[in-house]
Structure 1
Amino acid sequence: MLIFSSVSKSNFYTTPFLCIAVQNSRLFSFTIATNGSASTSSISTNSFNIIKSHKHILFHYLNNQTLNQARAFFDQIPSPHVSLYTIMLHAYADNHRLCEAIDLFRQIPFKDVVSWNTMIKGCLHCGDIITARKLFNEMPHRTVVSWTTLVDGLLRLGVVEEAEALFWAMDPVDRDVAAWNAMIHGYCGNGRIDDALRLFHLMPSKDVISWSCMIAGLDHNGDSGQALVVFRDMVASGVWPSSVGLVCGLSAAAKIPALRVGIQIHCSAIKLGDWRFDEFISASLVTFYSSCKQMEAACLVFGEAVCKNVVAWTALLTGYGFNDKHLEALEVFKKMMRVGVIPNESSFTSALNSCCGLEDLERGKVIHAKVVKMGLESGGYVGGSLVVMYSKCGYVSDAVSVFKGINEKSVVSWNTVIVGCAQHGYGMWALALFNQMLRERVDPDGITLTGLLSACSRSGMLQKARCFFRYFGQERLVTLTIEHYASMVDVLGRCGELEEAEALVMSMPMKANSMVWLALLSACRKHSNLDVAERAANQIFEMEPDCSAAYVLLSNLYASSSRWAEVASIRKKMKHNGVVKQPGSSWLTLKGQKHNFLSADRSHPLNEKIYQKLEWIGVKLKELGYVPDQQYALHDVETEQKEEMLSYHSERLAIAFGLLSTVKGSTITVMKNLRVCGDCHSAIKLIANIVDREIVVRDSSRFHHFKNGKCSCGDYW
């Protein structure tokens, strides 16, 4: 007797496995087996060939996504074989046309166990648990596959308790390793990692899938350290990892990161075979070495890999971005396109993130054009990355426009656009978007609240902030964290409610950290309240004696009050403790090149022209009645020196360079690492009016859009 098998080449639909036994060269006894179940019937050679032909035609229609045509052809078949019914059941369920699948299932004259299992799986795929359970109870004969299919489906839908009961109701003889693996996988997928570990240790026998499933589950649930322990135990028990197990181990090693352990896994991959031909191991190694800040090793692995698919290219691209090598990342993206590798959503997301890192709008627009050509702009991941890119580069209107085009908006998408509007001071936009989010029944989370409080803080909406903070906390929509309290302290402080802000800090359910006290100290600087400022600063110095921001804020507050002795004392203390003040710098990016400026900087190649431009601006400012606000010159020097120091702040140098280097009428976008001072803010409003341009300045707090003598912040920042 000769036995052979035939499997359909369909990429989308499960094809029954055919085992044909030749008897007397005329009669075939053939078994349709899916997931281990079988039914046997005797058909002639001619009948078998006809069924095979019918399957080929059905798969042709289904692979070309013409389900209705497939059904029309199926209806023309006289007395279709049960395997043909099963193919149609798969197709209907995959397309969420469950009612038609059930109707067709009821029409099958002789149902086999495969058709029953297929129908149960289809119901679970469409979320119909009741019908799936009803069909399971009606089955004349159940196999271990029937039980496992229902258990796995219930777990995927989050019905864990019912799946547990069903699992333990199985006959212990039928409860094979696949059933145990399904249960462990389901526990991990529902975040019940302790239950998964308990079951894992109870397993009578484990295969490599069991170990890999447990390692992946621990890693995905945030316990990568324990995942590596399980990986070590797997090898110690004599079970050599499969390629999937190696990928899971490398993923865990990348997240910790654990360089030594990852290198050992790399060695295991070499021992097990030539990893260079396995695209997933290659990509995982690139990600691992990148996460461990070993970009040379990552590049070496990438160079040795034989199968450089989009996953491997994206791993290298993402690795460069993770290591703040954004120019190199974008070069990888360009080379990837040149060699004909088509980027996927992850590729575009990483490339756009690098554009954000460089604050390079022009490159971002080029990538956006490629996204549009590939029809990916409406996807959640790529769309969200575009929203972030436009927001961080100063174009919030474009960010909102992209957001509107996203088809399925997740809570991440909503949070991204709300936070973007908040950063630009468009508080009312942020609140309008939040209301729309609620109307579309998207549940807010902790990041949503942070974005709303930030929007209120930058727009002076104190009562709104109080309502949000109270509502989210009382209704328990989110668990209030220290970040939320810091945001609320910032709102109160900016609005001048310093006593209420301090009282909130003292009444917090958790101990305030330096971030909370810094928010209060910053507000004291704005409202010149030395008493509260000194108390806040002392709290910070107890927790972080080397916190330069606290020293600088307190020193500036003393300086603005002309208390030069205290200023000198703080500077002496900073020097004694080795605390270095971060120098104020501003920059702008033109044609992919970043131009940095420090205050009174004369190192730029266009230095002479820049200062000539500043002198011209100074004359024009005086003609409009501008008088420098000397309280922002934080040094005890003569009046003329103070005015000169203010005139050469880094943001003004960057603006002058922008005026010289960009087309007349275009927007100038300047980034600054510190908060823009009040005098520069007043001056830039007038400069924007003088040159008839929009000037965008992003400081450490927010974006300022200067146009027609006004700023988008309404002089509130």
Structure 2
Amino acid sequence: MPLKPPKFPPTLNSLQCGNLVQSITNLKSHQKGKQLHAYVISTGVLINNAYLATRLCAMYASNGRMAEARLLFDGIAFKNSFLWNSMIRGYASNGFSLDSIAMYRDMLRSGNNGDNFSYPFVLMACGDLSLVQIGKRIHCDVIVSGYEPDVYVGNSLLAMYAKFGEMGVARKVFGRISERDLTSWNTIISGYMRNCDPGKAISVFSVVAKGKEGLDQLTLVAVLPACANLSALKQGKEIHAYILRSGMEFNKILMNSLIDVYIKSNFMMGSKRLFERMDNKDTVSWNTMISGLACHGDAIESLTLFHRMNHNGFVPDNVTLVAVLGACDKVAALQFGKSLHAYLIRKGLDKGVTVGTSLIDMYAKCGSLACSCQVFDEMPIKNLISWSAMISGYGLHGKGQEAVECFNEMKEKGITPDRVTFTSVLSACSHSGLSLEGKEIFHQISTEYFKKPSVEHYACMVDLLGRIGQLDEAYKLIMNMAVEPNIDVWAALLSACQIHHNVELAEIAAHKAFELKPKSVGIYVALSNIYAKEKKWGAVRRVRDAARYNGLRKPPGCSFVELDMTIHRFLVGDKSHPQSQSIYAKLSELRQQLKESGYTPDSSVVLYEVEEDMKENLLWDHSERLAIAFSLLNTSPGMTIRITKNLRVCSDCHNVTKLISKLVGREIIVRDAHRFHHFSNGSCSCHDFW
């Protein structure tokens, strides 16, 4: 049904029509504006009426109808500042930044100067297009015309220089604004965040928080990501208190940002409490909490929360799905991951690069390298991250040669490897003992790509050389590094010293590591283990006493098994599981069978000064053995057993798992802190090199 035209009075004078145009402009009603335009043409009011034509032009520009605005604009002989500014603003506000700048240039050529209504929008156009030189020339015009202290113009200059990444200039402009308002402070805070300087963003926020300007929601939205990036828990709590006092706790954006601050500050209790109290949760709230739990090691709770999200009627988006896939790989929840993959296929979301890459990573970390390969092969579009994920997957499963071949194929397709890709392929070489391939790829970084190896690349090379026993060469490489070695480099050398029983070099590596990170529990544990293997019990006690003095404790061994999409967790010596009695009975049975087949425990891996029979008992309390017994009790004969462990598997458990795989005729896949071990028929895919 066609719209009825409005009933205008039979005669309206120019001023009355102008007032009507202004009212329609305020209403943003394009249809009524066109009807009024037709009326003034038909009644002859518009003839030779520059005032009314200017008002109509401004109306079209305000509504984003720049083609109609331009027709009117070109027909007006005498153009005033209001008309020029309306066109500059219309073009800039509707994405026609180049036209806005061209209009500003034409205005100057016509003899009209810029003012505090034209400068903000042409500066915005320069910022949007990153036209640095033009923006600086217009800044000169601003200074000459005396408008720089104007708060409206000054704020636009701040925003432009923030987009250019020139925060030093922005800070000078900020200092010259005569009467700064809250927008000025918000713009400078957002500028520092945009340019990855959260420390200065918080510093500026601290000043405005003490001033008379007050804080609004935009200020808080701008500064909370800075608190999250710096894990600034104290400032986050202060802002939370201010939000509660100001009655802004119902703002979802603020609450979601606060949850993120608490998560990134490792204050999980606070994030959970805040999340549960939110009555107006949205998808972002759920996503933030799900990914936060996964990142902070509570993957089981992350998956549980995803179930709740679905139950409460929220539809997961790509961010949710990527986060949940990440949680799956933390505990090798393959069944859950496969069901999620099926959901993605049903929804047609499985072919995207981001989700596809997450699936590759999830399957690889859940122990199904074949599924990773299948997803990778079926991806219609692959980017650098997809290739890197596949290379990393091969490395995790000890397929170093395949990782190198994948790396070379990627290069043949014209994709340039980045820092992460080189780290993945060097790590794969390290886990497979491919020293020649690793050295060649390491040299390619500088010879083919003219880049300096990063500290991560050096850490991989130290690990590679150390694993194959070339400790002197590894130490020499560290001494000649082009960058300062970090704790990962020294930890890699220390790990190699543990494998090859080099106490002297281990002490050097540990000393350097302690200088960089005095409270690294992993370094204390590694050094203590090295002394224990050499039966230097006095040194062991000194190291362990030092760790206790610093409030450090070695994390207990923990293994996970997924059964019927439920995660079962076992700690070392765990007797809390409902099937605990049956599990230990099964272990006793396995222990007897292995003894009868000639198994002798390697008690040297028990790094405590206790009797031999006690050492053997301690070995059978290891978490992965409990997980194996549980899996044998609860799965059908012939089924693959999949276990995830938080620590490196010890040599005796490695040997026992090989023997059990032959004894029960099962494949047992164990992912430890370093890599995957595929045990089958009495052997392991790592060939005892891990």
Give the TM-score taking structure 1 as reference length.
0.73
Q: CA deviation at 1:622?
A: 7.0
- Alignment-derived partner of residue 53 in structure 2: none
Q: Within 2, Cα distance between the matches of 1:42 and 1:507?
A: 74
Q: Within 2, Cα distance between the matches of 1:321 and 1:333?
A: 11
Q: Within 2, Cα distance between the matches of 1:500 and 1:107?
A: 78
Deviations, residues 690-716 of structure 1 (Å, cap 9, x unaligned): 434321111222111223544332432
Distance 1:475 1:290, change over 3 A: same
Q: Within 2, Cα distance between the matches of 1:694 and 1:153?
A: 63
Note if 1:198 corresponds to 2:154. Answer: no
Distance 1:199 1:26, change over 3 A: closer
Deviations, residues 644-667 of structure 1 (Å, cap 9, x unaligned): 766665433322221222233332
Q: Within 2, Cα distance between the matches of 1:21 and 1:448?
A: 70
Note if 1:167 corresponds to 2:151. Answer: no
SS at match of 2:214: coil
Equivalent residue in structure 2 for 1:243, among 202, 213, 217: 217
Q: CA deviation at 1:384?
A: 4.3
Distance 1:352 1:210, change over 3 A: farther
SS at match of 1:275: coil
Q: CA deviation at 1:490?
A: 0.7
SS at match of 1:706: strand
Note if 1:430 corresponds to 2:403. Answer: yes
Q: Kindly indicate whether the alpha-carbon contact (under 8 Å) linking 2:330 and 2:365 is maintained by their aligned counterparts in 1.
A: no
Q: Kindly indicate whether the alpha-carbon contact (under 8 Å) linking 1:632 and 1:679 is maintained by their aligned counterparts in 2.
A: yes
Equivalent residue in structure 2 for 1:501, among 471, 474, 487: 474
Q: CA deviation at 1:260?
A: 4.8
- Alignment-derived partner of residue 658 in structure 1: 631
Q: CA deviation at 1:485?
A: 2.2
SS at match of 2:145: coil
Distance 1:243 1:575, change over 3 A: closer
Q: CA deviation at 1:500?
A: 0.7
Note if 1:362 corresponds to 2:353. Answer: no
Equivalent residue in structure 2 for 1:702, among 671, 675, 682: 675
Equivalent residue in structure 2 for 1:450, among 384, 407, 423: 423
- Alignment-derived partner of residue 495 in structure 2: 522
- Alignment-derived partner of residue 58 in structure 1: none
Q: CA deviation at 1:503?
A: 0.8
Q: List aligned pairs for 1:456-605, cutoff 5 A.
A: 456-473=429-446, 478-509=451-482, 512-537=485-510, 539-540=512-513, 549-550=522-523, 553=526, 556=529, 563-564=534-535, 566=536, 568-577=537-546, 579=548, 583-590=556-563, 591-598=565-572, 604-605=577-578
Note if 1:284 corresponds to 2:253. Answer: no
Deviations, residues 507-529 of structure 1 (Å, cap 9, x unaligned): 23455454323312322333344
- Alignment-derived partner of residue 38 in structure 2: 47
Q: Within 1, Cα distance between the matches of 2:513 and 2:337?
A: 40
Q: Kindly indicate whether the alpha-carbon contact (under 8 Å) linking 2:25 and 2:62 is maintained by their aligned counterparts in 1.
A: no
Residues 487-496 or 337-346, more deviating: 337-346
SS at match of 2:568: strand
Give the TM-score taking structure 2 as reference length.
0.76
Distance 1:520 1:329, change over 3 A: closer
Distance 1:449 1:276, change over 3 A: same
SS at match of 1:594: strand
Q: Within 2, Cα distance between the matches of 1:409 and 1:49?
A: 59
Residues 158-167 or 620-629, more deviating: 620-629
Q: Within 2, Cα distance between the matches of 1:203 and 1:409?
A: 49
> What code does the residue aligned with 2:222 have?
C
Deviations, residues 96-155 of structure 1 (Å, cap 9, x unaligned): xxxxx9xxx999986996778777888878xxx8x9977875677697787656654554
Q: Within 2, Cα distance between the matches of 1:376 and 1:622?
A: 52
Q: Kindly indicate whether the alpha-carbon contact (under 8 Å) linking 2:64 and 2:90 is maintained by their aligned counterparts in 1.
A: no
Q: Within 2, Cα distance between the matches of 1:439 and 1:33?
A: 61
Give the paired residue count. 643
SS at match of 2:135: helix
Distance 1:448 1:279, change over 3 A: same
Q: Kindly indicate whether the alpha-carbon contact (under 8 Å) linking 2:361 and 2:393 is maintained by their aligned counterparts in 1.
A: yes
- Alignment-derived partner of residue 253 in structure 1: 227
Equivalent residue in structure 2 for 1:712, among 672, 677, 685: 685
Q: Within 1, Cα distance between the matches of 2:613 and 2:382?
A: 56
Q: Within 1, Cα distance between the matches of 2:637 and 2:39?
A: 77
- Alignment-derived partner of residue 211 in structure 1: 185
Deviations, residues 203-252 of structure 1 (Å, cap 9, x unaligned): 34444333212112223444334323322433555333332222123333
Q: Within 1, Cα distance between the matches of 2:513 and 2:328?
A: 35
- Alignment-derived partner of residue 684 in structure 1: 657
Q: Within 2, Cα distance between the matches of 1:584 and 1:259?
A: 30
Q: CA deviation at 1:596?
A: 0.8
- Alignment-derived partner of residue 341 in structure 1: 314
Q: CA deviation at 1:202?
A: 3.0
Distance 1:48 1:526, change over 3 A: farther
> What code does the residue aligned with 1:188 have?
A
Structure 1: gaps of 5 or more residues? 1-19, 52-80, 91-100
Q: Within 1, Cα distance between the matches of 2:243 and 2:165?
A: 29
Q: CA deviation at 1:435?
A: 3.9
Q: Kindly indicate whether the alpha-carbon contact (under 8 Å) linking 2:299 and 2:330 is maintained by their aligned counterparts in 1.
A: yes
Q: Within 2, Cα distance between the matches of 1:254 and 1:373?
A: 36
Q: Kindly indicate whether the alpha-carbon contact (under 8 Å) linking 1:445 and 1:477 is maintained by their aligned counterparts in 2.
A: no
Deviations, residues 152-187 of structure 1 (Å, cap 9, x unaligned): 455445453443334334563677655544443344
Structure 2: gaps of 5 or more residues? 1-6, 43-56, 77-82
- Alignment-derived partner of residue 226 in structure 1: 200
SS at match of 1:704: strand
Q: Kindly indicate whether the alpha-carbon contact (under 8 Å) linking 2:532 and 2:540 is maintained by their aligned counterparts in 1.
A: no
Equivalent residue in structure 2 for 1:265, among 239, 249, 257: 239
> What code does the residue aligned with 1:165 have?
R
